[in-house]
Every structure is written in C-alpha cells, then in structure tokens.
Amino acid sequence: MSALDVYWLPAELAATPPGNRVVVVVDVLRATTSISTALSQDAARVVPAPTVERARQIARGIEGALLCGERQGLPPEGFDLGNSPRAFVRKVVSGRPLVFTTTNGTAVMHALEGVEELVLACFRNGEAVARLLEPDLVDGGRGALIVCAGRRGRVSMDDAWCAGHLVGKLATRLEGLALRDGARAARALAARLGAPTAHGLGRTAGGRSLGEIELQDDLSVCAALDDLTVVPTWRDGAFVKGGEEDP
Amino acid sequence: MSALDVYWLPAELAATPPGNRVVVVVDVLRATTSISTALSQDAARVVPAPTVERARQIARGIEGALLCGERQGLPPEGFDLGNSPRAFVRKVVSGRPLVFTTTNGTAVMHALEGVEELVLACFRNGEAVARLLEPDLVDGGRGALIVCAGRRGRVSMDDAWCAGHLVGKLATRLEGLALRDGARAARALAARLGAPTAHGLGRTAGGRSLGEIELQDDLSVCAALDDLTVVPTWRDGAFVKGGEEDP
C-alpha cells in the first residue's frame, strides 16, 4: 500500500519535495472552491497567476479571458470577478478562459506546476477527488500528497480540516493505507470537527476575514459537501475539468 | 484578553515573527523532554548548539561540560550522553553544564534566542508551563506563542499534540482567551487524541524511529504528564531552571 501525506503548509514542500506523487492542493476559503465551481459551470479553463500584474498580462493575451481573483479578499481594480464561488455561474463563465490570482492558493499552484499530476480539492468535490486518488494509493501506486495552501505562510484551520476529511474518507476505504504524521494529524482534526458547516468555517481566521468584508454568504457554498463531480486537473498551463469519467 | 497561537512548524516564524510574545518551544521526542529532565535533576545549565561541530567547540570552552545530543537519534562520536531523557539522572548531571545538539529541537531554540522570553515545554512540565503563561494571556498581557519543532521541516504529530494539550489547559482556565487557527487546530487534535501514552507517541513518525533504534523505552518517559515542575528558561545563552517559584 502506498502512502498518503498532508503538508499543513507549502513550506513543507522544500523539506520533502513531491517526487512522482499525485499532488492535491486545498484552499477551501476560497480559491480551490471557486475554481472547482467555475469548471463545473463550464469555464473553458483556469490559468493561475502569481501576481495581479501577471494576471492582467496573461489575460491580455487570451481572447475572451475573464480576470478573476482577490487581494485582501476583494477583486483588484479592473477585474471581472472576485474570488467568490457564488460569482462563477454558468451564464458568466461558460466557455470562457479564466485568469485567476489569489493571495494564497494560486501561489502554491504555481510552485507545483512541474509535478506529474496536480489537482485541486475542496469540500464540494471531496468525494470525486477521493475516487481519483484511490488507484494511486493501492499497492504499487505512486502515493499522494495533499498540500494545504495555508494563509500568508500560516496554518489554516479550514484547509487542514478539508485535507483531514479526505484522509478520513480514503483511510476508511483502503485498509492498511500508510498515513504520515501530517495526514494522521489532519484526520484527527477533521474527526474532531465533524462535517463542514458555514458556522464552523466562519470561526476560522479566513472565515472571520470574509465576515469583515461582508462575504460571509460564501461560507455556506464553501461548506457544501460533495455536490460537485469536477476535479480541476493541471494540463498544459491551466486547470481543466477532470474527474467526471464516473458520473 | 491576549492571544495564544501555535506554530505547527518553525517555518511559520518567517511569516509572523514572535514580536514581544512569550515563546514556548516544544520538541516532545525528545529534546525539550530531555532538557526539562536534565534541569530537574539539577544540571547547572543547558547550552543549545546548532551543529555537532559547534557543540564540541562550545564544550571545550566550558569546564566540566557534558556533551549531549543526537544525530539519527544516537549520540555522535565522543559525546558523553545521547538525547534519551532516561540518561539525565542526578548522579550524572547534577551541577554540570550541558552542551546540547539535536536534529530538530536545538536548531529552533537557536533561531529564537533573541526573543524577550523563551521557555521549553513537554508533556512532563505542561502544567508548570501553563501556570507560567497565564499572566501573559490575561488582558494587557504580551500573548504567547507555542512553536513546534517539527521533524526535518515537516509537521510532527507529537509536538502538535503537546502544544494542543497546553492550549486546552489554558483555554479552559482563561475564559475568552483568543485562539489563532494554529492553536485551535492543535487543541482539536489533542482533544481527539486524549492524554499522552507511550503507545500513542510510538505511532508518530518520531516514535517509530525511536523503535527502530531500540529506544522505545524513552516513550513512556516522554508521555509522563505533569511530573516535573521545572520550566527551562533562556538566560544569557543557556537554559536554566525556571518555573518552580510555586512548588
């Protein structure tokens, strides 16, 4: 049986690089929730950008691109959309390429673009991600690594909760699955916290920040469990729809 | 009410430096357990060293110094003692200055030597550390930060467990204590795991490594709860006995 690990912070990547493991990035509030939502609403693809300036530059080169993301939680000047999953509705995003920059999530996605297989997870697509990982976690599999985006270099409760939720799901199904310390700690945390709720997410540092800018209605969307089958998957410089082969 | 935070990894120090908060370093397996034990057995002081070579150099300059610590869990050549808390008995260490170098713990202690107040915690002195922190966590206090040493740049279950145990203790006593995400996650983890046991510590990555070099008997010492009143406290380049004013 291969091993499953959770990095509570991107900084752990420097200590133990991913190697050939499948890598799953989690940024529940809100980048991976928003990107999963956008692709489920048929956005053509999502190009992550590390900075606002780079996002503007990339968007200028892509016909029909929508410029999306946030700084301090809000869309920078001239952006078409922020980072609220509620904004990524079909009539706005269907068929459109999105260029996306956020404070925490897209930076780690960028740092990982060289890995063999890179996907995005949130509570909404947790079941779909778990199914996708299963073959890599049986004997002879590549193993998998869940990387929490964190919050400005600090541990983020919501990301660790979601990572632990995924670990719990997989460990229950795959008897004998080897869990590293980070994965075991995340699993224990998620077991303690239970199923995600808007109230629970609202008590995290990220959730409180959303309240301060009156975006607390995003929380119930981010807390929705397994209502999406899309797994954003890295292909040729963008995240595209993956994970729906078994609808 | 001031705030309590837990850094799951020393890397978080770069994101948010300690400022004037009291800083508590935790390295349950085994540096902070061993140093707490050594001072409780009347070692004169403990000088942390970042490398084996530097430890040898420092020890040559201190009369009567014992050279202590580990690489890959075992004492380097020429060392008087390893990093097993069982070795730090009164008849060996009483009155002696110790020079100490370990893979994870002493590196972070070194990085923190400039902070206003720096102490060491483990399960053995948890209650004494909690008492010491209380005045800093009430209104107008400096606030406190618990830093987990981790394991080669990765999250370590045992350290987060102990940090969460301290958070739980303090949050129960100090109504309204503000907990940052790292502290809340650690507290939830510790609540899930319960009181420390040799078996529980033995299932962590660090615990398994101790088993591999046949030092599993260290685990029950590291899992002992509140049997020491000493809080190792940084003074003039070394850790000395603190925390016993209220025996």
Structural tokens at position B240: 């000395």
3-state secondary structure of B47: strand
Contacts of residue A218, Cβ cutoff 8 Å, sequence gap at least 6: A29, A30, A84, A85, A86, A210
| Chain B CB within 8 Å of residue A213 CB | no
Interface ipTM: 0.93
Calculate how close chain A gets to B228, using CA atoms only, in Å.
Answer: 27
3-state secondary structure of B154: strand
Q: How many CB pairs under 8 A join A and B?
A: 94
Calculate how close chain B gets to A80, using CA atoms only, in Å.
Answer: 30
In angstroms, rounded to a whole number, what is the distance separating the alpha carbons of residues B25 and B114? 14
pTM score, whole prediction: 0.95
Q: Which is nearest to A187 in space by CA: A208, A210, A162?
A: A162
Is there a contact between A181 and B8 if contact means CB atoms under 8 Å apart?
A: no
Q: What is the pLDDT along chain A (247 residues), one digit of tens a residue?
A: 579 999 999 999 999 999 999 999 999 999 999 999 999 999 999 999 999 999 999 999 999 999 999 999 999 999 999 999 999 999 999 999 999 999 998 889 988 988 999 999 999 999 999 999 999 999 889 999 999 999 999 999 999 999 999 999 999 999 999 999 999 999 999 999 999 999 999 999 999 999 999 999 999 999 999 999 999 999 999 999 997 654 4
In angstroms, rounded to a whole number, what is the distance separating the alpha carbons of residues A102 and A120? 14
Write the DSSP symbol of residue A151. B
Contacts of B189 in chain A (CB under 8 A): 185, 188-189, 192
Contacts of residue A107, Cβ cutoff 8 Å, sequence gap at least 6: A10, A50, A149
Contacts of A184 in chain B (CB under 8 A): 157, 203-204
Write the residue in B181, B203, B205 that is nearest to A155 by C-beta: B181
- Find where tokens 């778990």 sit: A130
| Chain B CB within 8 Å of residue A155 CB | yes
B 16-35 residues inside an 8 A Cβ radius of A: 16
Closest chain A residue to the Cα of B189, Cα to Cα: A189
Residue range B13-68, pLDDT digits in tens: 999 999 999 999 999 999 999 999 999 999 999 999 999 999 999 999 999 999 99
Is there a contact between B181 and A7 if contact means CB atoms under 8 Å apart?
A: no
Contacts of A157 in chain B (CB under 8 A): 181, 184-185
